[in-house]
Structure 1
């Protein structure tokens, strides 16, 4: 596989997995995609999580913590050979030690869809790469004339037919349009059932972007950690070129601080961190990002006193920050992890941005009431 980290392909992010899927399709190589359809109880991954398996037995990503990997690989290779999608249910609550081995411990029932990586994936993969969310509807079980694996893709309220799959009838799509509307642009997954037909509603959203303004050495751990958790990263340096060989960003630019906004594409899916360590440059970048973009989050590195100095500088130039502006700013930036090493600071900041992008507060899970993840199961009832 062209993008696989051969030392640890299991750590692939959603961004990495999509890149590899596009690469395999372009190369005409056979592969299978395993997707979690539903979870009853608890499990390591949630509905919508995916794993990619190539014909040469390489795997990429994960749908469990590893306890079902061999079983999923066997199913995937059968799907690759037969070109027919399959659904499988693994009951890890019963934990049949003779079948699965000792102590799986996920304490849940997991339903998987394993399907060929065929031309039906081309349209949704291209759409999310272009920054457009799509909803993929796939029949996972059927007692009707609509065969398993039938697929329709929805984007901007328009149904898109795909190659290599039967189309889901319009009347069936219309019957669960409310579910599609709820799932679209949320990166969530639900299943719905009607007249013996079960359909997976899979919301695919573009990869979140992280814009880093700065050019000092501390941008390296920031970009590295951001890439490791799946952000698409861009570094914009206001003073001097950045050593591209040492900064693992997806793209890098150099230019005046006021040019930073030109690197914001889909604003609502972009998060920014200002960390040039130059007060004037930071002020210009902050002012530009607030006035010229609608990004939901802008982290500013430095202590409160420095941020107050930045705000005072804006006031002197008659550029007062509004309440709405301040609501988008995190200063000081980062979660309170207590570390002071450069990589610890980067981890604090990337963790906060990840929490914000997932609409979370970033607190300790042991203090959270209720389930860790939202329960997105059948449309008619929760898990």
Structure 2
């Protein structure tokens, strides 16, 4: 639901009933990941998507039905061999979609979660999506130190809170199968509930060092990919909001000095793009960056610049393992020349690094298109 949190908050604040359909499991070539959602309000207005088009109409009607009946439901969608135009995923995938009506004041968990997302507070929303009908839709909103909502029993509530909090810390979204006493169970066991936990965390950070002409395109594509983008440069004449209107933050400071002030705001999703192409800025910055637990460090420069940079970083004491984390020259080999093309090559490398892609044309590679789905979150209807 994270992608449609803003309109859901507006509907909720206005007291408008709505139903939300959330992808809670996927298998095969399903087009959307768990957490993708489509919501429909009482007037029939729709926001979001669960399949990129394949089953939108059917899910829309399920949301209307949930609003009429007030009952949640778990639905399965897949490919129909008999009729490729039947309701199903012609790409061959399978989707589990949980449809839940949301009425003002009826779900304390969701009532608490939506304002928390507006405030930028990390929160895990845990919902019972399969199990005894009377328990479906039970919701908890769990932050690092609070819990809102209630489930069927205190042991179950306590177990879900602990698991959701751990998943929130890791920024994970996925499913749990628990007994009513809160103990982990095999999915085939009787008397279990399936809980879908969706972690809502602030956007990952991209810090672009170097307010050069290429940086403007990198900022734009970073925003397109969903990053909170900061531009940092020590030269105030270049680091201006006028030059980078789409950046979330503009910082005038020496890159390494600014990085030292951000240690508590960096995590494994953070991306550092070093575009300064100037040793006096690059070297002290990279010496620090390559020792931090961030997700990606890339640096612009020619191959000669890269070799010289590596030699100087070795002299500064960096290990081969630390140097191996550096993506330099930054980006994939797309033949890019313009700032826009270079930004695309950097974005392509980021996606490949994050998702585990091969960087080869899909026409030349066998196997699944999507590489990053967890093998531990599987059922007959979900990956």
TM-score tier (shorter): 0.7 to 0.9
Match of 1:287 in 2: 287
Match of 1:10 in 2: none
User: What runs of 5+ residues in structure 1 fail to find an aligned partner?
Assistant: 1-13
Q: Could you tell me how far 1:68 is from its partner in structure 2?
A: 1.9
Query: Contact 1:32/1:77 (CA < 8 Å) preserved in 2?
Result: yes
Task: State whether structure 2 residue 326 is matched by structure 1 residue 329.
Answer: yes
Aligned pairs for 1:352-363 (under 5 A) are 352-363=349-360
Task: State whether structure 2 residue 136 is matched by structure 1 residue 142.
Answer: no
Match of 1:255 in 2: 253
* SS of match in other structure, 1:272: strand
Distance 1:267 1:221 in 2: 24
Deviations 1:296-322 (CA, angstroms, capped at 9, x unpaired):
42100111211233345556xx62322
* SS of match in other structure, 1:161: strand
* SS of match in other structure, 2:268: helix
Distance of aligned partners of 1:98 and 1:311 in 2 relative to their CA distance in 1, 3 Å threshold: closer
Match of 1:9 in 2: none
Aligned mate of 2:195, from 200, 203, 215: 200
Q: Could you tell me how far 1:378 is from its partner in structure 2?
A: 4.2
Distance 2:269 2:118 in 1: 12
Distance 2:213 2:269 in 1: 26
Match of 2:216 in 1: 220
* SS of match in other structure, 1:243: coil
Distance of aligned partners of 1:352 and 1:40 in 2 relative to their CA distance in 1, 3 Å threshold: closer
Aligned pairs for 1:1-383 (under 5 A) are 16-22=3-9, 24-25=11-12, 29-55=16-42, 57-80=44-67, 84-94=71-81, 96=83, 100=87, 105-116=90-101, 119-121=108-110, 126=116, 130=120, 132=122, 135-143=124-132, 146-153=134-141, 160-162=147-149, 166-172=150-156, 185=170, 187-190=172-175, 192=177, 193=187, 194-204=189-199, 206=201, 207-240=203-236, 241-244=239-242, 246-261=244-259, 262-263=261-262, 265-290=265-290, 293-313=292-312, 319-365=316-362, 366-370=364-368, 372-373=370-371, 374=373, 375=375, 377-378=377-378
Query: Contact 1:128/1:204 (CA < 8 Å) preserved in 2?
Result: no
Distance 1:30 1:368 in 2: 45
Distance 2:66 2:27 in 1: 25
User: What runs of 5+ residues in structure 2 fail to find an aligned partner?
Assistant: 178-186
Deviations 1:243-288 (CA, angstroms, capped at 9, x unpaired):
3474422222222223331345133221100002333222233234
Q: Could you tell me how far 1:334 is from its partner in structure 2?
A: 1.1
Distance of aligned partners of 1:358 and 1:63 in 2 relative to their CA distance in 1, 3 Å threshold: same
TM-score by length of 1: 0.76
Query: Contact 1:32/1:52 (CA < 8 Å) preserved in 2?
Result: yes
Q: How many residues align?
A: 359
* SS of match in other structure, 1:338: coil
Decide which moves more: 231-240 or 39-48: 39-48
* SS of match in other structure, 1:195: coil
Distance 1:113 1:138 in 2: 10
Distance of aligned partners of 1:320 and 1:129 in 2 relative to their CA distance in 1, 3 Å threshold: farther
Distance of aligned partners of 1:60 and 1:280 in 2 relative to their CA distance in 1, 3 Å threshold: farther
Distance of aligned partners of 1:176 and 1:16 in 2 relative to their CA distance in 1, 3 Å threshold: closer
